[in-house]
Structure 1
């Protein structure tokens, strides 16, 4: 009996020591923010020139409160970026550079997912990235998490063979709940496949283990509606474990959500079974027009904002509702300053502020 008791105790002790991971909510303290700077090697100089003012503005706003880690395509690009920042009177004191080739700018999706283990140590999760179902080149961007881990001397958990997962496809409340759209995680429709043959349960098990959540809420989403197959961070964001920011039903339906999805979103509850309080942001009043005059077909979302240590970067569109949205978001983050970031030209390419930023949490 004594031997059996001892063995049972040892096994339960080992089980209790099993490694767990926790994805800190975005509003927790950062060490810094990672940016992949736009370049001309993939999409040409016109593209680069149209969008990079957004990166200048983000760097200027972020460097006052945390490190800004800029990924430059090569040394020539690094030197060009330094010159740009100096021309725009951006302090380089809190800015550093890493030289890695990239395919594009969407570090939220291809970049490292920084988590903490049960000792509070910051680690990198390197999930697979396949260009949103092989719609675009992805080989360079898929290497970024491992390169960062090597450079920082940080442990990397290699999940490339386990699951493709884009950071923008999930939202977590920091207290055990994750929300995602099936369309951008487990869809098996042609042109959208991230994980061939994956089941909903298998995806949930991965999220539970590597994001540290106990509850996954699924919306159906819409496959093929955009490049991302409807990332959740375009229309819903958790402020904390009791509150979400989203949009009114008419705006969500205009974005393409079904009435079923809207109902699931609006009735979602936290880990304690309490329905989330909802804050509603408007869409832009008008359809977005780029800074160089091209009329786009869609209105813009303000939900795709980014919470940093001292500032909140909110996508702005030169629209009457910019000030309305900025004010609502400012009320949710009284200790931080809301800064509007002009994303009109970036929006033409399918993304806003949250899509092109990635937080690195501060260590204990």
Structure 2
């Protein structure tokens, strides 16, 4: 029986998220409160289009309910962090009504010193158990934010993630591709050399692809475009666009590349390069939930997404508090395909 990962634009049964709790990612009570408000805003935006289930740590249900409202479902389970894209299951379907959950090995984004993952490494299986669906266990250290598929056999990967020493030392490119293809039903991998500069900071993922490039539909990929030469991602984003324009997908099509201008802000309050990106959006049933930054380019990005997805409603949600903790809207959501 062949399973494959549907593209994000395929119909969803629901979205899964995880609630922020006290941990090293949120350095103080104020930052944690800001994160919870941001997570709740995303959950409410997605709930306009499809059901949402939030996994919350023990004892946090009441506080989460106050911010989430009555329409978001809540389940309790021990958590370390709140990045459901990475700790949750990658869902695959068999095309005949069957659903399964891929459980990658999760080790805190390459066993980073600050990270904890004893509980988060069990979340994928817990979600699968709640749904009573089979689990496909993988020996590959990988996260949901490190892959993006077109639903027709193509997957985007990053050298510094799947081949990173903190994740899969000793694995060859061919071994990684074989495992990815076996789990996702893909047949061709397109590798990017690295992620955005800011993603290699303290709480970075070391190069997740979902902040760099994403399929909008088969044959069409959106890519981050840092247009200010002062930012180190200026050259990096040109590399990504050129590489993707020179690539073909699993069906042999040359990729159409749509460049999405980065927000105008270059550094955060600490003087570090930001990796603010509109690529880290989330597609849900009838909607696009898009990262906003109170930036002049927010509406430019929204306009591009409206043209790419004319049948969907584009909603901007302020994602600055999410990025301050190491990710974006795509990073905190995980789709469950409808079967």
Q: Same fold (TM over 0.5)?
A: yes
CA distance in 2, matches of 1:249, 1:352: 17
Residue of structure 2 in register with 1:351 after alignment: 327
Aligned-pair CA distance for 1:124: 0.8
* Among candidates 14, 17, 20, match of residue 38 of structure 1: 20
Residue of structure 2 in register with 1:84 after alignment: 67
* Among candidates 232, 242, 246, match of residue 267 of structure 1: 246
1:199 aligns with 2:189: no
Aligned-pair CA distance for 1:228: 1.2
1:69 aligns with 2:53: yes
Q: Give ranges in structure 2 of 5+ residues lacking alignment.
A: none
Paired residues for 1:1-364 under 5 Å: 19-40=1-22, 43=26, 44-74=28-58, 76-85=59-68, 90=69, 92-93=70-71, 95-135=72-112, 136-159=115-138, 162-188=139-165, 193-221=166-194, 225-226=200-201, 227-248=204-225, 250=227, 254-255=232-233, 257=236, 261-287=240-266, 297-298=273-274, 300-363=276-339
Give per-residue Cα distances to partners, 1:188-245, cap 9 Å, x unaligned: 2xxxx21221111111111111111111111221698342111111110101111111
261-270 vs 62-71, greater mean Cα deviation: 261-270
Would you say the 8 A contact 1:330–1:336 is kept in 2?
yes
| Two-structure CA RMSD over aligned residues (Å) | 2.2
Aligned-pair CA distance for 1:286: 2.0
Aligned residues: 329
Would you say the 8 A contact 1:284–1:299 is kept in 2?
no
Q: Give ranges in structure 1 of 5+ residues lacking alignment.
A: 1-18
Aligned-pair CA distance for 1:176: 0.5
CA distance in 2, matches of 1:287, 1:313: 23
- Aligned in 2, Cα 1:20/1:266: closer, same or farther, shift over 3 Å? same
Would you say the 8 A contact 2:245–2:256 is kept in 1?
no
Would you say the 8 A contact 1:23–1:114 is kept in 2?
yes
Would you say the 8 A contact 1:180–1:217 is kept in 2?
yes
Would you say the 8 A contact 1:242–1:277 is kept in 2?
yes
CA distance in 2, matches of 1:78, 1:28: 31
DSSP-derived class of the 1:217 partner: strand
Aligned-pair CA distance for 1:301: 1.0
DSSP-derived class of the 1:148 partner: helix
CA distance in 1, matches of 2:35, 2:84: 15
Would you say the 8 A contact 1:40–1:47 is kept in 2?
no
CA distance in 2, matches of 1:166, 1:358: 11
Would you say the 8 A contact 1:169–1:232 is kept in 2?
yes
CA distance in 2, matches of 1:348, 1:109: 17
Residue of structure 2 in register with 1:3 after alignment: none
Q: Which has the larger radius of gyration?
A: 1
DSSP-derived class of the 2:310 partner: coil
CA distance in 2, matches of 1:277, 1:251: 23
> What is the TM-score when the length of structure 1 is the normalising length?
0.85
> What is the TM-score when the length of structure 2 is the normalising length?
0.91
Would you say the 8 A contact 1:180–1:218 is kept in 2?
yes
Would you say the 8 A contact 1:35–1:68 is kept in 2?
yes
